[in-house]
């Protein structure tokens, strides 16, 4: 067995695909779960790797638990993917969102500083941090103007990581990932929700698709390719920040109509509801992935419509089976 990596948030979309990637590279993979919380291993099961990872209880809000974890498993790399990651839920539970998404990062970095500051640390930052941007495309040097409690919490965690890297010489890299989708995405996320409900409409099980503001534009990518960039960041000699994105944006309306067309659904089946609008919204957002391409040699050439084709095939194949 080669290196040991610990992944928080291993049961999520990115955690499952990252675990699969690291296992292929002969890593020992430790996945963190929280005791007394519902355990959903469907993604790990779907990828056929549940028996290959070691799941360990650890509460990231308790620094002492993390220290014991690091002393026992002696990881070479830590990938921090755990977060309250729903923008919508962050408006409902802003304090809880901020507390978990920031205190957990402080605890992890303090534990690394205490046990072994050579442990390489990856932080899942978010494009939501940039919020109301003045210039597009977004780059690593763009000004942050977060527009949700979730985005505020991610910005705080992001700067916490930079602080520990610069103050203590720790190998801490932040991946600023833009929207990225896969079959393992939770139903509450936009693309997954649209595909699932569109399939039901095509089968006569649902009449209309209710949506909020679908004229905003976003940068979408394919999750299995994006986790490759996470791994590459921790293989670099010098840690830093990287934008992981496709480099182009598309309206949510265009995504819906593309899926409708593929499934033979009339556009009139899409109905906008003002009740589904968010209190504040980013009109357009896309990034520049030049730094990741040049420094990480990260290769990415899929359009959002390439990704939608991949997801539709997988969703239709599994539609009559038990869903993730």
CA dihedral 260, 280, 187, 100 (to 10 degrees): 160
Average pLDDT score, the chain: 94
Q: What is the CATH number of domain 4-180+220-244?
A: 3.40.50.720
Contact indicator for 111, 59 with CB cutoff of 8 Å: no
Domain boundaries, the chain: 4-180+220-244, 186-219+248-286+303-318
**In which band, very low, low, confident or very high, does the pLDDT at 37 lie, cut at 50, 70 and 90?**
confident
Q: Which pLDDT does position 175 carry in this prediction?
A: 98
Comparing C-alpha atoms, which of 39, 35, 1, 31 is closest to residue 15? 31
pLDDT digits (tens, 9 = 90+) for 47-89: 999 999 999 999 999 999 999 999 999 999 999 999 998 888 9
Cα–Cα distance measured from residue 68 to residue 38, given in angstroms and rounded to the nearest whole number: 23
Q: Who contacts 208 (Cβ-Cβ below 8 Å, separation ≥6)?
A: 201, 269, 270, 271
Q: Which pLDDT does position 280 carry in this prediction?
A: 67
pLDDT digits (tens, 9 = 90+) for 269-292: 999 988 777 776 778 889 999 999
**In which band, very low, low, confident or very high, does the pLDDT at 34 lie, cut at 50, 70 and 90?**
confident
Comparing C-alpha atoms, which of 120, 171, 167, 165 is closest to residue 5? 120
Number of residues that make up the chain: 324
The structure tokens 């033979």 sit at 264
> What is the CB neighbour count within 10 angstroms for residue 186?
14
Q: Which pLDDT does position 319 carry in this prediction?
A: 82
Q: Which pLDDT does position 291 carry in this prediction?
A: 98
Q: Which pLDDT does position 195 carry in this prediction?
A: 97
Q: Is the peptide bond before 137 cis (omega within 30 degrees of 0)?
A: yes
Contact indicator for 180, 222 with CB cutoff of 8 Å: yes
Q: Is the pLDDT of residue 17 over 90?
A: yes
pLDDT digits (tens, 9 = 90+) for 93-102: 999 999 999 9
Q: Who contacts 207 (Cβ-Cβ below 8 Å, separation ≥6)?
A: 201, 269
Q: Which pLDDT does position 322 carry in this prediction?
A: 54
Catalytically active residues, by annotation:
126, 128, 150
> What is the CB neighbour count within 10 angstroms for residue 29?
26
Q: Which pLDDT does position 323 carry in this prediction?
A: 56
Cα–Cα distance measured from residue 60 to residue 45, given in angstroms and rounded to the nearest whole number: 24
pLDDT digits (tens, 9 = 90+) for 287-316: 999 999 999 999 999 999 999 999 999 999
Q: Which pLDDT does position 281 carry in this prediction?
A: 75
Q: What is the CATH number of domain 186-219+248-286+303-318?
A: 3.90.25.10
Q: Is the pLDDT of residue 324 over 60?
A: no
Q: Is the pLDDT of residue 2 over 90?
A: no
Q: Is the pTM of this model over 0.85?
A: yes
Cα–Cα distance measured from residue 156 to residue 160, given in angstroms and rounded to the nearest whole number: 6
């Amino acid at each position: 067995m080669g290196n040991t990596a610990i992944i928080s948030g291993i049961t999520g979309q990115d955690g499952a695909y990252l675990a699969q990637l690291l296992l292929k590279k002969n890593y020992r993979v430790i996945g963190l779960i929280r005791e007394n919380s519902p355990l959903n291993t469907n993604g790990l099961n779907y990828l056929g790797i549940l028996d290959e990872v070691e799941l360990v209880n650890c509460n990231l809000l308790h620094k002492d638990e993390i220290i014991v974890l690091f002393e026992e498993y002696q990881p070479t790399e830590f990938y921090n993917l755990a977060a309250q990651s729903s923008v919508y839920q962050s408006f409902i539970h802003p304090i809880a969102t901020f507390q978990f998404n920031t205190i957990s990062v402080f605890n992890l970095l303090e534990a690394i500083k205490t046990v072994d500051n050579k442990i390489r640390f990856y932080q899942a930052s978010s494009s939501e941090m940039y919020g109301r941007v003045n210039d597009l495309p977004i780059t690593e040097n763009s000004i942050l103007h977060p527009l949700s409690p979730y985005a505020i919490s991610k910005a705080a965690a992001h700067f916490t990581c930079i602080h520990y890297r610069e103050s203590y010489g720790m190998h801490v890299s932040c991946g600023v990932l833009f929207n990225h989708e896969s079959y393992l995405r939770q139903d509450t996320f936009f693309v997954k929700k649209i595909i699932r409900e569109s399939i039901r409409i095509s089968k006569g099980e649902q009449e209309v698709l209710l949506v909020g503001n679908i004229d905003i534009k976003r940068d979408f990518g394919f999750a299995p390719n994006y986790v490759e960039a996470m791994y590459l960041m921790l293989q670099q000699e010098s840690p830093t920040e990287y934008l992981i994105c496709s480099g182009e944006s598309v309206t949510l309306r265009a995504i819906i109509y593309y899926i409708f067309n593929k499934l033979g659904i009339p556009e009139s089946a899409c109905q906008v509801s003002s009740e589904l609008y968010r209190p504040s919204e980013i009109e357009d957002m896309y990034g520049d992935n030049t730094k990741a391409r040049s420094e990480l040699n990260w290769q990415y050439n899929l359009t959002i419509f390439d990704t939608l084709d991949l997801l539709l095939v997988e969703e239709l194949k599994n539609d009559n089976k038990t869903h993730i």
